[in-house]
Structure 1
Amino acid sequence: MHRLAAAMLVSLLCCFLFIATLKAQQQPQPAASDNTASPPSCIPHERDALLAFKHAVTSDPAGLLTSWRRDGGHGEQDCCRWRGVRCSNRTGHVHELRLRNTREEAAAMEGKISPSLLALDHLEHLDLSWNDLTGPSGRLPEFLGSLKNLSYLNLSSIPFYGGLPPQFGNLSRMQYLDLSNSNFRGDTNSTDLSWLTRLSSIQYLNLDLVNLSTVVDWHHVMNMLPSLRVLHLSDCSLASANQSLPHLNLTNLEELDASWNSFDHPMVTSWFWNITSLRYLYLHATSMYGQFPDALGDMTSLQVLDLSYNYNNDEKYRIMTTDLKNLCNLEVLNLDWALLYGDIAELFRNKLPRCSPNKLQELDLNWNQLTGMLPRWIGQLTSLVILNLGRNNITGSLPISVGQLTGL
């Protein structure tokens, strides 16, 4: 009897242990420990460099640098959380400073650009545009040419004076460089642009309103920048554009703005008509005269073409002989005060794009000497949003097809 009871007790214990083990196996397992580290805080010496930069700013009306503080909690001391500062999520090094003044001129920071930025060895992006950080010298800081990792530099509309530092040619990783002035702000110049040829990766270059009147080889310098996609040289006092280039390297150039330069030579002699990659071409007020070049008709990538206000002191009118019928991507054509004369119906019929669908959205033929009647097929320009035919000698009634231009 005792043996039977003992056997039953052992069986019950084994059954209990089995059930307990099974339940334990069915319990959800604890999650594996999360080893994902939070983004690292900024490097202490880089924080000190940023605070030294702030110390050199004597006025900050917009409060761009208000969050830049040494005191406070951990979050406030972490410069990677400061306004305008971007750090690497992996290393904590400062990679970007985005301190552009996006408000009115009265909100601009004043002071100088501190050399403490040289401590930011990993800085790739620096935008201080539209601030008044000229310092006592008023000149562009040469030391910025030592920030070897910079690929983006925007100092536009900071009212600097004097020459462009050739030390900027040391920025071999540069892809975007904007040293442009704005009206009534700054007076920078350059007598030698050869340092630009060392920026082999540059894609965007803006030197608007920088005085380049003594740089005679500017076209050769630009032609040695094969990666260039956007080139702005508006109002640079360039003397001419009729130089010859035996071999064109600017095969990636998509946008060229050379407006407000008094070239004062025949339009057909300019060197840029063979850049067939151009999508945006701005030659407003360049004082070029004579016929438009036939090569213009082969620039089939063009989306915007501005040849307005191209006249010289002789004010000799020209007839439109260039065929633009194959410019099927053209969306904006500005020939305002381009000194055109002739029959407007002939111009519409045989010179303007005749593609289907027609992409032309803006057409400005204002202030020319065009005569005759508008053609019936004007209604086929169904994408038109702006049509300016004022100050011409157009006669007759409006074609009924104008009613099809519902976007006007």
Structure 2
Amino acid sequence: MLIILYVLCIQSTLFTVTATNTANNFITCLQNERDALLQFKSTIIDPNKNLASWSSGNCCNWRGIRCHNITRHVSRINLRNSSLQGEINPSLLTLQHLIHLDLSFNFFNFKPIPQFIGSIKSLRYLNLSNAGFSGEVPSSLGNLSSLHVLDLSNLYLSLSSDYVLHVSDSQWLSQLTALQNLKMTGVNFTYASSWLQDLNSLPHIKILGLRYCRLQTIPLVLPHVNFTYLNFLDLSYNRINSTIPAWLFKITSLEYLDLSWNFKFHGLVPPDIRNLTYLNVLVLSYNSIDMSLALSQLGNLRNLQYLYSDYVRKLINCPFHELGGNFSELATTLQLLSLRHSKLTGSLPRWIGNFTNLQFLYVSANSLSGEIPSSLGQLSGL
């Protein structure tokens, strides 16, 4: 019976896959949209022939193209990492039902992002990351009020400002009222003075990736914290010269917080850090902050799995064993503890053996001495 059931399951699966593929083959694209895609191709340089299928037949079967099963409209273009160059043709405006556009990891010769992309108002997903764009991010993108995901990240960090994207006025971001995921790594925000206020007006934002954005200031006062659903915040590798603002610890939905590599972040980390009870990852490395008050509150972060506090200039400066009570509540959750260059003294404490889920333990470049405790042998997952 088991063999018969197994054979029937395989036949059922094969029938489903065949039926699905047959259905896809029967979807024929609309002629005007096919013509628009051919116009798009006509201004693209395609050295690796990734668009070779874009010549004849049903455009719904072309590489990177998906059509709606019922309406037959082109709904998705995914040409990620296709070695494309050249010009992006405004013929894409013909695709009035396009919801997904991914041109990431191509190279468009450091040209500006085309203004007309802000007129494809049906878009819900737009990924132009690491595609070789430069210049001012067009404010016309603020017209994309249905957008859920916007990724403009740029890895060309070592190049001069002439070859990177930048935002001078971030007010257009506040118009993206459906936005949930914003990634702008490497986009220069030096002159976008109202960046935080504009982002704070987004009612559904969940992910904010602002690494390497050359942010220099962060408002210490935010009258109304609207980041109700924010669970991922990355402000690392910036130039923020400030104390850590108190409003940050009102974003109780946070699961990931990275403030590392902001050397001029200074002052006390307030005990209010205990409010971030959903945190899985906390990264505070390479700052000038003082953790002396916050350490006793870390035990309240019952979901914390990864704690990085390396090279924090005023972190601990005390015997390692005196931290035991502060960390005891994390013994069953913490998987990574990194306290390099933290001015720890004394010996490696016996209580470290209670952290049975630890996989990574970094305490190098401190002033530790004495015998390595046998309790370290209890860390079977290390």
Asked if TM exceeds 0.5, the reply is yes
The 5 Å alignment of 1:8-407 reads 39-61=26-48, 63-70=49-56, 77-101=57-81, 108-134=83-109, 138-182=111-155, 183-184=157-158, 186-267=163-244, 269=245, 271-287=247-263, 288-311=265-288, 319=292, 321-322=294-295, 323-339=297-313, 340=315, 341-347=317-323, 349-352=324-327, 354-355=329-330, 358-407=332-381
Distance in 1 of aligned mates of 2:242 and 2:294: 18
Distance in 2 of aligned mates of 1:241 and 1:271: 11
Contact 1:332 1:360 in 2 (8 A): yes
Distance in 2 of aligned mates of 1:48 and 1:270: 55
Shift in alpha-carbon separation, 1:370–1:249, aligned structure 2, 3 A = same
Contact 1:255 1:279 in 2 (8 A): yes
Shift in alpha-carbon separation, 1:365–1:320, aligned structure 2, 3 A = farther
Shift in alpha-carbon separation, 1:120–1:367, aligned structure 2, 3 A = same
Distance in 2 of aligned mates of 1:147 and 1:378: 56
Contact 1:321 1:351 in 2 (8 A): no
Give the letter for the 2:73 counterpart: H
Give the letter for the 1:208 counterpart: T
Shift in alpha-carbon separation, 1:270–1:158, aligned structure 2, 3 A = farther
Per-residue CA deviation, residues 157-205 of structure 1 (Å, 9 max, x unaligned), is 1222211111111111000001111134741111111111111110000
Shift in alpha-carbon separation, 1:318–1:303, aligned structure 2, 3 A = closer
Per-residue CA deviation, residues 263-307 of structure 1 (Å, 9 max, x unaligned), is 12223x354221110000011111212222211122100000000
Shift in alpha-carbon separation, 1:243–1:317, aligned structure 2, 3 A = closer
Unaligned runs of 5+ in 1: 1-35, 71-76, 102-106
Distance in 2 of aligned mates of 1:353 and 1:110: 55
Stretch deviating more after TM superposition (300-309 or 230-239)? 230-239
- Number of equivalent positions: 352
Contact 2:268 2:290 in 1 (8 A): no
Distance in 1 of aligned mates of 2:330 and 2:236: 28
Distance in 2 of aligned mates of 1:353 and 1:265: 31
Shift of 1:153: 0.1
Per-residue CA deviation, residues 14-72 of structure 1 (Å, 9 max, x unaligned), is xxxxxxxxxxxxxxxxxxxxxx98743011111111111111111332x32121113xx
Unaligned runs of 5+ in 2: 1-21
Stretch deviating more after TM superposition (198-207 or 51-60)? 51-60
Contact 1:205 1:230 in 2 (8 A): yes
RMSD of aligned alpha carbons: 1.9
Give the letter for the 1:265 counterpart: S
Moved over 2 A (4+): 36-40, 183-186, 316-322, 350-353
- TM-score of the aligned structures, taking structure 1 as reference length: 0.82
Percent identical among aligned pairs is: 41
Distance in 2 of aligned mates of 1:167 and 1:324: 43
Distance in 1 of aligned mates of 2:308 and 2:291: 16
Greater Rg over alpha carbons, structure = 1
Give the letter for the 1:383 counterpart: N
- TM-score of the aligned structures, taking structure 2 as reference length: 0.88
